Amino acid sequence: MRIRAFILAATAALTACGEQQGIAPQRMADAIFAVIEADRAAYTNNVVNRLQNEEGVIKADEHWKDTKALPLPAQMLRMGSERVAEQGAGFNYALLSQWAINSQNKPRTDLERQGLEFIVENPGNNFYGTEKLGDTEYFTAIYPDVAVSPACVSCHNEHVDSPRKDFELGQTMGGVVIRFPL
Amino acid sequence: MKNYKFKFWHYGLVVTLIVAALITYNLEASDKSFFLSGETSHGHHQIELACTTCHGDGFAGQDFMQQACLNCHAEELVQANDSHPRKKFLDPRNAGLLAHLDARLCVSCHTEHKPEITHEMGVTLAGDFCVHCHSDIAEDRPSHAGFGFDTCASAGCHNYHDNRFLYEDFLAERIDTPDLLANAQLPLRTLVIEWQKTHPDSRPLTAHDMDMEIESVAPETLTGIRHAWADSTHALTNTNCSSCHVDNQTEFTSAEIVTMCGGCHAEQRETFTQGKHGLRFSSQLPEEFRRTVGAMSPVAAQIAMQPAASTELSCTSCHGAHELDMRFAAVEACLGCHDDEHSRNYRASAHFKAWQSDAAEGVSCAGCHLPREENNGRIAINHNQNHNLQPNEKMLPVCLSCHGVEFSVAVLADERQLKSNFRSPVSKGHDTFNLIRDRIARIKTNK
């Protein structure tokens, strides 16, 4: 009995040693999304919505350099994602939507299409999957991007290139896609 | 002496050794010209023998070459608010697109030493390269259905890198402006005024204040120099002879002139060495190249130059050593060398007539090609004359100082207008405005 218990314990220990150490991709993606979402909400509410819509101090504008305005929240998110990509941080993220104003930000892969549909049809839920892009296998997580302030809704509903103009506060407008190479 | 019989392979060995010696000499001690793999593009031909700048030790990889491009061009791409920066293509969701065209690397579109496939702006792809990623453009813009993809970047509508003056909101803001503005005026230079503000107690120097006498110079020559200097902005801004003629030096190489002037005019030197006039003095090039190859000369140019023009290009080629005549520098200096159709037609143009009647409101060569740029309230001259040449929509901020946007876009896209120096009749506006006129109305309504 003791010998059997010892063999079982040794096998369990050896198996554990053989497993990859570190944080599971899903847990890591959830943590990264928490940071992205928090920064995004803080910028949208405390900077753009306050200064543009409530206090009328400065506008947020798509061509913010030329108009000496604030970058739009979506542009801020993309600036961050491009910096992360340039640093080779080991993961990528993007803000995508079926109703993107810039068609380059519409879903491009099958998993992106599937995931964006899922998070719109299942509010409050995330979507996880794997896909092969080029020669590399990726873990892909897609999180709902919700209209957190009136600035989000009004801008998208009024933009000349917006394919959807009936967004309401609290609705899912798109998704944040986070990818890790496996 | 024994009559030695040379065999065929002996001759082969001797010839091989001689060829090897010549090649080695060219590589190690001469100008490396044997190793040029093909004619260099117009952008790099005058620095083509600075091989290591782009190729490192000859075995440098892709990363080194990419960084070499960025060492010289990154700042310009940032200024251009590059529409297709490398960072946009790092997301793995672009893997499918990059398989067709790897937009992360400059050399994917700009391969050097390939004259047979090099087009404008050093592009070595077929003119319809936009199709690789934008084949479905007609779904978003039905008005674009049927357009050839070779017209996207060649018709004055879009550029790959620089679209700062072509996006819809920019055009919408200016669409109703007349062809010639009532308050047509290039920005006025402010550097002397700025200097005077920061030196309120300084008085202009006069001919009597000259702090250098040279016995080796003929008295009449010295008198001419004295008066030229006394009438110049140097005398106005308290810059005496000894500021430049340190240790009574009177003979300077072009490199020494550029270094010396740059001591006070650092911004001007920086932009001068970014353009083709001063490129050979760029700090990005190896010291040995700068020392041995020397200044650019019209003789080495690839475009039409006056047959007699053979001067070395430095600051004094245009500004003179003592007179600093800005009118000369803005027109006569340019036309003293440039002999292409556009340049030859300038003196018959409306721009020149205005320049003759009033230098402040007229338009010289320099007024357009050395643009006056605002930086923190200061207006300074960008001395890189290639800065706004290609694609020529980069000239729009200059044109818009005096002209309406529709007129300016149409004229810049018309090859006849460029060659005739804008003397051809302007028949109609640019089609880009017809395509987006209703969209612009909607954009304005939404404002």
The residue of chain B nearest to residue A102, with distances taken between CA atoms, is: B140
Lowest mean pLDDT among A55-69, B46-60, B304-318, B343-357: B46-60
Statement to judge: residues B222 and B116 lie in one domain: no
- Interface check for B292 against chain A (CB to CB < 8 A): the answer is no
Confirm or reject contact between B321 and chain A (CB < 8 A): no
Domain membership flag for residue B170? no
Q: What 8-state DSSP symbol labels residue A106?
A: S
Chain A within 8 Å of B444 (Cβ-Cβ)?
no
Mutate one of A87, A133, A162 to test the B interface: name it (highest B CB count within 10 A): A133
| Domain extent at residue B278 | 191-432
Domain span holding position A155: 23-181
At B101, the pLDDT band (50, 70, 90 cuts) reads: very high
* % residues pLDDT > 90 (chain A): 75
Q: How many CB pairs under 8 A join A and B?
A: 55
DSSP state of A16: H
- Radius of gyration for the alpha carbons in chain A, expressed in angstroms and rounded: 21
Determine the residue among A82, A97, A138, A157 to mutate to test chain B binding: the one whose Cβ has the most chain B Cβ atoms within 10 Å: A82
pLDDT tens digit sequence for A133-168: 999 999 999 999 999 888 889 889 998 889 999 999
Q: Which residues in chain A touch residue B95, judged by CB atoms under 8 angstroms apart?
A: 133-134, 136
Q: Does B170 contact chain A (CB < 8 Å)? A: yes
Question: Does residue A166 sit in helix, strand or coil?
Answer: coil
- Put simply, the answer to whether B93 touches A65 (Cβ < 8 Å) is no
Q: How many domains does chain B have?
A: 2
Output b/e per residue, B17-50; b: 16+ Cβ within 10 A: eeeeeeeeeeeeeeebeeeeeeebbbbbebbbbb
Report the residue from B91, B169, B442 with minimal CB separation from A94.
B91
Report yes or no on A143 lying in a domain. yes
pLDDT tens, B237-273?
999 999 999 988 889 999 999 999 999 999 999 999 9
**Residue A153: how many CB atoms within 10 A of its CB?**
19
Q: Is residue A39 one of the residues assigned to a domain? A: yes
Tens of pLDDT, residues A91-107: 999 999 999 999 899 99
Mean pLDDT of B14-28: 89
Whether the CB-CB separation of B189 and B381 falls below 8 Å is answered with: yes
Cross-chain CB nearest to B92 (options A62, A65, A134): A134
**A159 inside domain:** yes
Looking at the complex, report in whole angstroms how far the Cα of residue B375 sits from the nearest Cα belonging to chain A: 14
Q: Does residue A7 register a pLDDT over 80?
A: no
pLDDT recorded at residue A3: 64
- Give the pLDDT confidence score for residue B258 in this predicted structure: 95
Q: Is the pLDDT of residue B447 over 60?
A: no
Instruction: Look at residue B208 and tell me whether its pLDDT is greater than 80.
Output: yes
Q: Do B409 and B347 belong to one domain?
A: yes
CA angle B329, B330, B331 (to 5 degrees): 100
- Predicted local distance difference test score (pLDDT) of residue B432: 79
Q: Per-residue b/e over A119-139, b at no fewer than 16 CB within 10 Å?
A: bbeeeeebbbeebebeeeebb
Q: Is residue B24 part of a domain?
A: no
Percent of chain B with pLDDT over 70: 98
The answer to whether residue B413 is domain-embedded is yes
B104 and B68 both lie in a single domain: yes
Which candidate from A94, A109, A160 shows the least CB-CB separation from B442?
A160
Domain annotation covers residue B21 = no
pLDDT digits (tens, 9 = 90+) for B307-339: 999 989 999 999 999 999 999 999 999 999 999
Q: Chain B contacts of A81, Cβ < 8 Å?
A: 91
Same domain? For B391 and B264 the reply is yes
Q: Is residue B328 part of a domain?
A: yes
The answer to whether position A2 is within a domain reads no
Whether A168 is covered by a domain: the verdict is yes
- pLDDT exceeds cutoff 70 at B135: yes
Could you tell me if B143 and B218 lie in one domain?
no
Q: Does B439 touch chain A (CB under 8 A)?
A: yes
Confidence band of B38 (pLDDT split at 50, 70, 90): confident
pLDDT at A16: 53
- On whether residue A12 sits in a domain, the answer given is no
- What is the spatial distance between Cα B168 and Cα A122, in angstroms, rounded to a whole number? 37
Task: Say whether A82 and B88 touch across the interface (CB within 8 A).
Answer: yes
Whether B263 and B397 map to the same domain: the answer is yes
CB contact under 8 Å between B91 and A92, yes or no, is yes
User: B377-419, pLDDT tens digit by residue?
Assistant: 889 899 999 999 989 999 999 999 999 999 999 999 899 999 9
End-of-domain residue from the set B121, B144, B163: B163
Is the pLDDT higher at B81 or at B2? B81
Residue A39 CB coordination number (10 Å): 14
Is B175 a residue whose pLDDT tops 90? no
How close A61 comes to chain B (CA, Å)?
11
Closest CB from A63, A94, A181 relative to B167: A63
Q: So what's the pLDDT on residue B438?
A: 75
Same domain? For B311 and B425 the reply is: yes
pLDDT tens digits, A10-39? 655 555 554 556 889 999 999 999 999 999
pLDDT at B1: 54
Q: Which residues contact A163 (CB under 8 A, 6 or more apart)?
A: A99, A100, A101
Residue B24 has pLDDT above 80, yes or no: yes
Q: Nearest chain A Cα to B140, which residue?
A: A103
Is residue A127, in this structure, part of any structural domain at all? yes
Confidence category of residue B443, pLDDT binned at 50, 70, 90: low
So what's the ipTM on this one?
0.82
- What pLDDT score was predicted for residue B353? 94
Mean pLDDT of chain B: 90
The predicted structure's pLDDT at residue B309: 93
Greatest extent of chain A over all pairs of C-alpha atoms, in Å: 79
